[in-house]
Amino acid sequence: MNFPLVSNFKSKTMKKIKYLLCLLLCNINLFSQNYNIEYNYEDINTNCKSNLYIISNKESLYRINDEREGGVKKNEETDNMEIVYNDKISKIFYSTNDKSIVRLQLYKSEIIYSDLNSKLKYKLTGKQKKILKYQCQEAKFDLNGRKYTVWFTPEVEINFGPLKINGLPGLIVELNEETNKVKITLNSFKKTINLIEFKNYKKYLLKKTALNYSDYEKKLVKIMVAKKKSMIAKIKEFEGATIEFSENQAAFTELIIDIPTNLVSELKKVKG
């Protein structure tokens, strides 16, 4: 014997349950703590925008949005010609709470390597100042051959930052590398549900084989030493021409974020 009223009641109830589940999932997605933070990025060769995506404070991806192709380019500000080492993918830094994976383009070679986040040991200086609308604290630290000063705000509780500067107790508002080769300043901070770029570049990185940091150091030293020898050989082709390199071998170290421990000493062994 059929009971149409009971059947109709069950059908309506199931529709309501499905609707509520769908609504719940949508709300979870809408209100999850995903951020798109825009910074201005400057180094010796670049001045452009960059984006840091932070997903539920569990992973992040920072990309420098420099889409210039490599080669000899004209600097529109100085009107000088300069060599650009880059490609359309540019530099990418993907981080979890434990480690970071870095992608850079150097002398027409793609280099991808990993590094542990636990290496960052920062020291609070006690200095404070207001930047934009945020009350900030100063921290200093050394990381892989570079010295950094960072201003961060505990008002925004996130632990990821640009490059792979992770572990500070708040949003990084300003970052300076000691020799002023790198400067990063906050432009905007907002929640986002648009994760297309994050997913695409994360997928790109994770399908590659990343060198561990020790192997990265060995590869970088080999590449840089070979490059210096090549530069010296080309100069010697011109009678009377000479080339000089600074004591800290800046012509090579300014092209990378992480400086291998023995890079400068190995480069100094290569004489003109």
Of 17, 91, 16, which Cα lies nearest the Cα of 51? 91
Overall average pLDDT of the 253-258 stretch: 90
In angstroms, how far is the first alpha carbon of the chain from the final one? 100
Is residue 209 predicted with pLDDT exceeding 90? yes
pLDDT at 25: 46
Overall average pLDDT of the 227-241 stretch: 89
pLDDT at 140: 97
**Please, what is the average pLDDT of the chain?**
86
Strands 123-131 and 171-177: unpaired
pLDDT at 29: 44
Strands 92-96 and 99-106: antiparallel
* CA-angle at 172, arms to 94 and 66, nearest 5°: 50
Contacts 24+ apart (CB under 8 A), 1-9: none
User: Which pTM value belongs to this model?
Assistant: 0.83
pLDDT at 70: 67
Overall average pLDDT of the 222-249 stretch: 90
Query: In which band, very low, low, confident or very high, does the pLDDT at 80 lie, cut at 50, 70 and 90?
Result: low
The one-letter code for the residue type at 192 is: T
pLDDT at 78: 64
Of 220, 207, 224, 210, which Cα lies nearest the Cα of 164? 210
Q: What is the pLDDT of residues 146-183, one digit of tens each?
A: 999 999 999 999 999 999 999 999 999 999 998 878 99
More confident call, 180 vs 253: 253
Backbone φ and ψ of 249, nearest 5°: 55, 40
CA–CA distance from 87 to each of 185, 198, 235 (Å)?
A: 23, 18, 27
CB atoms within 10 A of CB 13: 10
Give the Cα separation of 93 and 63 in Å (integer).
Answer: 6
- Spell out the SS3 assignment of 98-158: CEEEEEEEECCEEEEEEEEHHHCCCEEEEEEEEECCEEEEEEEEEECCEEEEEEEECCCCC
| Number of H-type helices and E-type strands within the chain | 5, 13
Q: 250-263: string of b/e by CB count within 10 Å (b at 16+)?
A: ebbbbbbbbbbeeb
